């Protein structure tokens, strides 16, 4: 692995500790079955991957795979899945899970960094990034995504938190910080350097390809942390889902995004993408 930056070293230290505190989520069986939950952003990522699965020779990169839970789900869909993570502990857990679920032949895990991928150019049919871009140097990471994605239709799916000025102004006020502290916390999985994506960041994601689509989540479901009811999260997600459908003007207020970008091979597209991801 390449020499780490100060930011990467802080992230590495955090997730080495975090991986010891939290067991992997046991959602493999349910999320990869026939049930769908279009109001849930994580399920939506898997649904998009399912809809675009064609054959078992398709290669998918889990871009910052963590403990490998999503990698195993996507492998069960049928993809040959490659996953990398900054944390060696996470990779050890991912390999153990793959062995436990008998998926070692369809999953490949290694330690790596988002800003300099150890994979060939034009290699992956799909890249899935689940809450990773707000932890990395986004321009460099997206440039690497563009490099490893196949031309002629390679697809990237990103699931990320985004800034909503009207809400984040309140969130960053003195009262908001008192109500929900923003300090780095292992308990709340908040790192020192993470930040929500901005409108400029979203435009940067779009620049790696064409035919992008964006779906917003997290409107009233922001309140779930304050409601001590087991079914509150699912109910509020459903409320958000239907409100966004009925009242499209509310979409910019959604604090989570699932974005899909396809990389087509068009005249000048490759050089234009690099130029946009690495502005002068």
pLDDT tens digits along 54-78: 999 999 999 999 999 999 999 999 9
CB atoms within 10 A of CB 36: 13
Residue 172 lies in a domain: yes
Range of the domain at 108: 6-218+254-277
Domain annotation covers residue 86: yes
Residue 119's SS3 state is: coil
- Residue at 237 is within a domain: no
pLDDT higher than threshold 80 for residue 150: yes
- The verdict on residue 62 lying in a domain is yes
The radius of gyration computed from the CA coordinates of the chain, to the nearest angstrom, equals 18
The answer to the question of residue 40 being in a domain is: yes
pLDDT of residue 81: 98
Asked if residue 30 is part of any domain, the answer here is yes
Mean pLDDT of 105-131: 97
Q: Mind listing the pLDDT tens digit for each residue in 245-267?
A: 999 999 999 999 999 999 986 54
CB of 64 within 8 A of CB of 129?
A: yes
Residue 26 CA to residue 248 CA, distance in Å, equals 34
Phi and psi of 159, rounded to 5°? -120, 110
Q: How far apart are the first and last CA of the chain?
A: 27
Q: Which CATH number characterizes residue 95's domain? A: 3.40.50.150
pLDDT in tens, 9-49: 999 999 999 998 877 765 555 555 667 889 999 999 999 99
Higher pLDDT, 199 or 175: 199
Is residue 269 situated within a structural domain? yes
Whether 94 is covered by a domain: the verdict is yes
**Domain count for the chain:** 1
CB 113 within 8 A of CB 132: no
Global confidence as pTM:
0.89
């Amino acid at each position: 692995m390449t020499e780490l930056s100060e930011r990467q070293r802080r992230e590495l230290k955090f997730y080495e500790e975090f991986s010891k505190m939290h067991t992997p989520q046991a959602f493999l069986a349910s999320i990869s079955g026939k049930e769908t939950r279009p109001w849930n952003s994580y399920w939506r990522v898997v649904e998009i991957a399912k809809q675009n699965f064609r054959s078992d020779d398709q290669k998918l990169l889990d871009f910052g795979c963590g403990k490998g839970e999503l990698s195993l789900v996507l492998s069960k869909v049928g993809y040959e899945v490659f996953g990398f993570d900054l944390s060696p502990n996470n990779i050890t857990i991912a390999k153990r899970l793959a062995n436990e679920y008998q998926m070692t032949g369809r999953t490949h895990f290694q330690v790596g960094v988002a800003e300099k991928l150890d994979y060939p150019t034009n290699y992956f049919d799909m890249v899935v990034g689940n809450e990773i871009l707000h932890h990395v140097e986004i321009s460099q990471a997206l440039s690497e995504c563009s490099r490893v994605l196949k031309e002629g239709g390679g697809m990237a799916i990103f699931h990320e938190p985004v800034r909503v000025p009207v809400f984040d102004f309140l969130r960053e006020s003195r009262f908001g910080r008192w109500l929900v502290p923003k300090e780095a916390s292992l308990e709340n999985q908040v790192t020192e350097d993470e930040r929500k994506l901005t409108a400029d960041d979203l435009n940067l994601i779009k620049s790696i390809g064409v035919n992008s689509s964006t779906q917003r989540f997290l409107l009233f479901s922001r309140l779930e942390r304050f409601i001590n009811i087991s079914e509150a999260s699912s109910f509020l997600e459903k409320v958000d889902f239907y409100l966004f459908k009925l009242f499209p003007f509310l979409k910019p207020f959604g604090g989570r995004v699932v974005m899909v970008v396809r990389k087509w091979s068009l005249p000048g597209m490759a050089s234009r993408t690099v130029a946009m991801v690495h502005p002068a």
